[in-house]
Chain A
């Protein structure tokens, strides 16, 4: 049986004044019913565009002609606007980063939750209201009856995100795309929201694509993690495998940059030097090479493709993967020279 969502070689480019931006550059993955995939990457890695590309919810300046995204046998790319609208909000829902901007400030909360019911299910009036109350209870909004008629600004950030989640769940979608759902929230609220999503996933049997820049969010709550860099997936593995045996130097660097409680006081935070690459004029070779401690001359010439690493289902796009023969040799050579092939300073092993 084929997966619920199959994405193959998805490319999304934007025409801009400076040139063609390759925001999503050949992404492939599969997602089965009821599973959670985390897409991790820093700002500008193309993860939000990927989320919107999956839904085909892109401005008209985007070129979406290459690659396919097939949802339960339906090709989403090249679908008519009307056909997409039947899927949006009903089969595939989306939650956005900032609940202050993703909820309409001048529309009452109750209406925002029930809108999709009205157009997908023909439910309105008392029936829709009943469903909204049920949804609000479901996402843990206390005293839902009195909150139906409030406006978003009268709610706290966490409550607003709960409203957004209730809105997304209204038609019981089978796929929920959560685009940084906790980034704009307090840390304590973040956890509540993530727990809520996890509980709802089990109860409703949804698949979730969780887009985040925070590997900590992905750990323990997702089945699979895909790490994105410069519009591509550079490493993909089952979550426990990724955290215990990451192979891509970028994944390693991302993990190393998470501050740890057990670190001594005043330990300097580990950062990834340099900046994300320019997506308009991509250079030859691996996009991460200029910032990579492992970079070798080959990395500047050839572009690594996503290949199965040590275990099945663990894929990595790197010539010198972390903790492999080739990787260790590359790192020790660079450490000895104090500089990588791309000219980046390499300090002795961390």
Chain B
């Protein structure tokens, strides 16, 4: 097991403040967090191995179909290595993954990593587009409703966001398809245009699915940011900023937003991880060739190697984004920049 160093959460005053203190603090944070990743990934990979192993049904039998003889199944099991003990298989698999080899699909023989990388741009574009759409709404809306808390706009926003939060994404997606694709015919209902083929068409094909993802996202984020902002606006430093005669927009953006955005950053980091891990439902509904679709298809096909590969990949992305979120705290709040070696 790796020797873990515990990060000190308390901030100590810097002996000599220097210009490079932020970069140094970010670097330190990154190093300690990277050590935490290893055990997490080991747990996730072993879990995913177990999951596939424990699910009923023999992959070899599934591949060969009902007409296969027991001898044929046994031969294929041997070929796939399924007859060896779980731990041996796990060890080999991990050793391969560590070298960047995720194995090959049982079905198509396509390398798993290729299959993932082929679909990754779609998922990433979708995730980032959804996040941008969400933030374009979240920040101004939360600032306004927090500043005028209890006002008419605030109450209206409250009703709308409650509605959006309680609506499952597939319902939101279907409603969007109904309105924008079927009634208004403004956007395609399904399908994907590659950005290399037609940049504008690509945006058009990504718009509705991204919006469907963004709507749920922005409802949650707005509520979180609004309530944190309301708390921040009670702080003395906001009063003293006002007493300086600073304009309201400046007080809100410069003094209130940053100290209020911790929960926002945490949630946005988690949801970005979730979105990159495959927006399974939305990708399926809009027939988008992303990670989510790959996962669903390989589960249905009992393609264990691909399922495990995707799970490991998603776990890596998730953990990496978590580390980035942690590092981002250091940038957000100078008090969390632990000083000293």
Taking beta carbons and an 8 Å cutoff, which residues of A are in contact with B?
55, 57, 81, 84-90, 93-94, 96-98, 101-107, 115-116, 119-120, 146-147, 149-151, 153-155, 164, 167
Nearest B residue (CB) for A119: B246
A29 to chain B, nearest CB (A): 21
Q: Are B259 and A115 in contact (CB under 8 A)?
A: no
Q: A101-B236, A105-B335, A106-B332 are in contact. List 11 more A-B contacts (CB 8 A).
A: A57-B242, A81-B248, A85-B247, A88-B242, A96-B236, A98-B236, A106-B258, A116-B244, A149-B19, A150-B14, A164-B240
Q: What are the 6 A-B residue pairs with the smallest beta carbon separation, nearest first?
A: A89-B245, A89-B244, A88-B245, A101-B236, A151-B334, A104-B237
Q: Is B235 located at the chain interface by the 8 A CB criterion?
A: yes
A183 to chain B, nearest CB (A): 13
Q: Is B4 located at the chain interface by the 8 A CB criterion?
A: no
Q: Are B13 and A104 in contact (CB under 8 A)?
A: no
Q: Please, how many angstroms separate the alpha-carbon atoms of A89 and B244 in the complex?
A: 4
A133 to chain B, nearest CB (A): 16
Q: A104-B237, A105-B335, A106-B333 are in contact. Are A150 and B17 (CB under 8 A)?
A: yes
Residues of the A chain whose Cβ atoms lie less than 8 Å from the Cβ of B333: 105-106
B18 to chain A, nearest CB (A): 9
Taking beta carbons and an 8 Å cutoff, which residues of B are in contact with A?
11, 13-14, 16-17, 19, 235-237, 239-248, 250, 254-255, 258-259, 332-335
Which listed residue, A86, A88, A98, A107, touches B255 by the CB 8 Å rule? A107
Q: Please, how many angstroms separate the alpha-carbon atoms of A90 and B11 in the complex?
A: 35
Q: Are B240 and A153 in contact (CB under 8 A)?
A: no
Which listed residue, A57, A89, A106, touches B259 by the CB 8 Å rule? A106
Q: Are B244 and A167 in contact (CB under 8 A)?
A: yes
Q: Please, how many angstroms separate the alpha-carbon atoms of A230 and B237 in the complex?
A: 27
Q: Please, how many angstroms separate the alpha-carbon atoms of A154 and B17 in the complex?
A: 8
Q: Are A116 and B235 in contact (CB under 8 A)?
A: no
Residues of the B chain whose Cβ atoms lie less than 8 Å from the Cβ of A98: 236
Nearest B residue (CB) for A98: B236
Residues of the B chain whose Cβ atoms lie less than 8 Å from the Cβ of A97: 236
Which listed residue, A104, A106, A146, A155, touches B241 by the CB 8 Å rule? A104
Residues of the A chain whose Cβ atoms lie less than 8 Å from the Cβ of B332: 106
Q: Are B13 and A154 in contact (CB under 8 A)?
A: yes
Q: A105-B237, A151-B334, A154-B17 are in contact. Are A85 and B246 (CB under 8 A)?
A: yes
A182 to chain B, nearest CB (A): 16
Residues of the A chain whose Cβ atoms lie less than 8 Å from the Cβ of B246: 85, 89, 115-116, 119
Q: Are A102 and B237 in contact (CB under 8 A)?
A: yes
Q: Please, how many angstroms separate the alpha-carbon atoms of A106 and B337 in the complex?
A: 12
Q: Are A103 and B244 in contact (CB under 8 A)?
A: no
Residues of the B chain whose Cβ atoms lie less than 8 Å from the Cβ of A85: 245-247
Nearest A residue (CB) for B337: A151
Q: Please, how many angstroms separate the alpha-carbon atoms of A89 and B11 in the complex?
A: 31
Q: A105-B333, A106-B334 are in contact. Are A57 and B245 (CB under 8 A)?
A: no
Q: A102-B236, A106-B332, A151-B335 are in contact. Are A120 and B259 (CB under 8 A)?
A: no
Q: Could you jot down 16 A-B contacts, CB within 8 Å?
A: A55-B243, A57-B242, A57-B243, A85-B246, A90-B245, A93-B243, A94-B240, A96-B240, A97-B236, A102-B239, A104-B255, A105-B333, A115-B250, A116-B245, A146-B17, A153-B13
